[in-house]
Chains A and B, each alone.
Chain A
Amino acid sequence: MRIRKASLLFFLGPALLVVALFYIIPLFLSVYISFTPMVDWNVNRYLTQFIGLQNYERLFHIVMYDPDMRAVVITTVVFVLVTLIINVFGGLLLALATYFMDEKMSATYQGLWLLPRMTPIAVYSLLWYYFFHSSGIGILNSILLKLHLIDHPIALGLDPKYLPWGAWFIIIFVNGLVGVSYGMIIFYSAFKSIPKELIIAARVDGASTTRIIKHILLPLTKWHFTFVTVWQMFSLLMTYAQTFLLVEWRVVDSTWGQTWALYVFRTAFTTTKDQGLAAAASTFLSIIGIVLGIVALKALGYEKMILEPKGDI
């Protein structure tokens, strides 16, 4: 028993260390910092000052009275909700499409959809920077100009005429494109793991492809659906890299293109460098994430997925 414990520690040790080093400690640090008045990374001066819930009060105040912060909240809700729907259902559609293709075709097709995920974030964002660029060299603009749909270049993500929808469209589009491949891969492998005989049986029973999807494929991958939804929700709540670059490069408006996660990042590192406030905002976001996660698991019937025990025979 002791040996087993020791070997367990040996094998799990490195992983646990990594988790502790890169997740647990930073988490505690950030929660801790949210109770200090830290600004400008002046660690020596502020790390030992404890100011209670002041940062949270400030955050609450800003959310209540600062219209820009309101924009952040609304943008976050819209961004997460819409992108989540696109990610989950887009992934589902892609998985279904590739499931019914022959193997070679589906591999190529999936590879194509995985490209955005495999491209480095900076390169990927740069691509969309050129695409949505507000001058005539922007690909979107030049297409629209060629088609005579517009007569001069537009700044979709910046021009107040198109706000907030223009900025939302861009960040949702860019992030959605990266996100669908995740659902696609998970759902596809879930479908593939369903015994082929079940599909054949349904065909023999007279089921059309739509019926097979509705009565066999979807009910048998409920758990994957829940998992992808919750997981994607977390990542969308926390993601900011692409959006950050698009904001920095002036492709989207810094107010209506800014989600809560990006607000945290910018507050800590670029704008006011108010790490205490940023830490409070990040802790708050984590709490929201956890609550939403639990609600989603409940709503999607996680408990029901745990099977009843096998009855007498």
Chain B
Amino acid sequence: MVSIRLDKVTKRFGKVVAVNNVNLEIEDGKLYVLLGPSGGGKTTTLYLIAGIYKPTSGRIYFNEKDVTDLTPAERNVGLVFQNYALYPHMKVYDNIAFPLRLRKEPKSKIDSKVHEVAKFLRIENLLDRYPHQLSGGQQQRVALARALVKEPSVLLLDEPLSNLDALLRVYIRAELKRMQQDLGITSVYVTHDQSEALAIADKIVVINKGIIQQEGTPEQIYENPRNVFVATFIGNPPMNIVKGAVLEDGTIETTGSRLTPPPAVLEKIKRLKLKNILMAFRPENAVVSEHPMEGRFSPMGDLFEVEPLGRDAVVTVTVGEFVIKVVMPTKEAMQLRIGSKVYVNIDPNTIKYFDPNTELNLEYIEA
């Protein structure tokens, strides 16, 4: 049972700061997802935990033990790669047995362990094949088997599903989550796919430009993003952002519509002396209609496009300089005429307010 702690960890490659002063605690037995765009520093963070890279500065702890100077083998981590990195010249059996052989475990023990893990992952019938004789999903399982056979204290997965087709991905990620819970193994899972992260994570760590943007449960990350980056990275489509001007009387004006923010927000606006404000809302928290709706904040715009996606449709409206996407039932969306004047009726209670200077969510700014 292992918890992981990164203490002010920085990793530089020449001039590039891949990971910048990261503090992170990963709880024992939980599945943490490192989520972020390409080049954000996810893999680097993972390799730092694995011990493949030495941090430029900072320390890494497993439980309370400082492992910063230990090798990957000494840390006993299992690692699954995006391209699986199976040894192409070894049969599946030998791939899985490889880490045990390096530990010089007795043959009979190796054999029973390999079969045990193969049975667990339902790849017993593949043991005699070479990696190139396997499908992507099968290779993925073999890679997982090779990582698990060591009974690692930590399981690290670097975009393990990105080489699979969309259907298989959804199926296997559920399996992975199940397996992780059954084994209760502390896991760090890297992905740039926000829906994957939301689906399987106990905790999501959003990382961009080597800096942790936000850490929290999927609900926290989704419902209350800490900054504009997280707001616009999570969700499909992500949050809509509208800029407004703060007026003397405490109302906010944008593209001809006015909104009175909640008192707590107003107080912070006043204290920060904000002249402008960013408002963000989720596409599913608004409805597009021909007339403004009661109790909603309803800026007016032009209907640009309707994309039906089965039950729901994505409706795109241009409001002044802003492009807003709304998800609403296809039936209602199809009633609207492209190019006509429409109202985007936003539920005012779901609006999040961000400081345009720091791009921080006002709720995360200390009162």
Which residues of A line the B interface, CB within 8 A?
Answer: 195, 197-198, 200-207, 211, 215-216, 219-220, 307-308, 310-311, 313
Contacts and interface: CB of A to CB of B under 8 A. Distances in A.
Contact of A215 (B47, B50, B78, B98): B98
B88 A313 contact: no
Interface string B108-149: 000000000000000000000110111100100000001000
B79 A201 contact: yes
A308 B130 contact: yes
Interface string B61-88: 0000000000111000111011101011
A226 B77 CA distance: 37
A20 B287 CA distance: 77
Contact of A308 (B52, B88, B103, B133): B133
B89 A307 contact: no
B54 to A, nearest CB: 13
Contacts of B73: 203-206
19 contacts: A197-B81, A200-B52, A201-B85, A201-B146, A202-B87, A203-B52, A203-B72, A203-B73, A204-B52, A204-B73, A204-B77, A205-B98, A205-B146, A205-B150, A206-B99, A206-B102, A220-B89, A308-B130, A311-B133
A198 B87 contact: yes
A220 B78 CA distance: 23
A219 B47 CA distance: 26
A220 B85 CA distance: 13
Interface in B90-105: 98-99, 102-103
A313 B135 CA distance: 6
A220 B131 CA distance: 14
The 8 A-B residue pairs with the shortest CB-CB distance, nearest first, are A206-B73, A197-B85, A205-B99, A204-B72, A313-B135, A311-B133, A201-B85, A206-B102
**Interface residue tally on B, bucketed by range:** 20 to 34
Contacts of B146: 201, 205
A204 B79 contact: yes
A204 B50 CA distance: 8
Contacts of A200: 47, 52, 79, 81, 85
Contacts of B103: 206
Nearest to B149: A205
B84 to A, nearest CB: 8
Nearest to B103: A206
B169 to A, nearest CB: 17
B193 to A, nearest CB: 20
B167 to A, nearest CB: 15
Contacts of A216: 87
Nearest to A309: B133
B153 to A, nearest CB: 13
Nearest to B152: A204
Given A203-B72, A207-B102, A220-B88, 8 more contacts: A195-B85, A200-B79, A201-B87, A203-B73, A205-B102, A211-B102, A310-B132, A313-B135
B14 to A, nearest CB: 12
Interface string B267-291: 0000000000000000000000000
Contacts of A201: 79, 81, 85, 87, 146
A197 B83 contact: yes
Contacts of A219: 89
A216 B133 CA distance: 19
A206 B88 CA distance: 18
A313 B138 CA distance: 9
A211 B52 CA distance: 17
Interface string B38-50: 0000000001001
A197 B86 CA distance: 9
A203 B78 CA distance: 11
Contacts of B135: 313
Contacts of B134: 313
A211 B88 CA distance: 16
From A198, A205, A308, name the one whose CB has the most chain B CB atoms within 10 angstroms. Answer: A205
Contacts of A211: 102
A307 B131 CA distance: 12
Given A220-B88, A220-B89, A311 B129 contact: yes
Nearest to A197: B85
A220 B130 CA distance: 14
Nearest to B136: A313
A218 B88 CA distance: 13
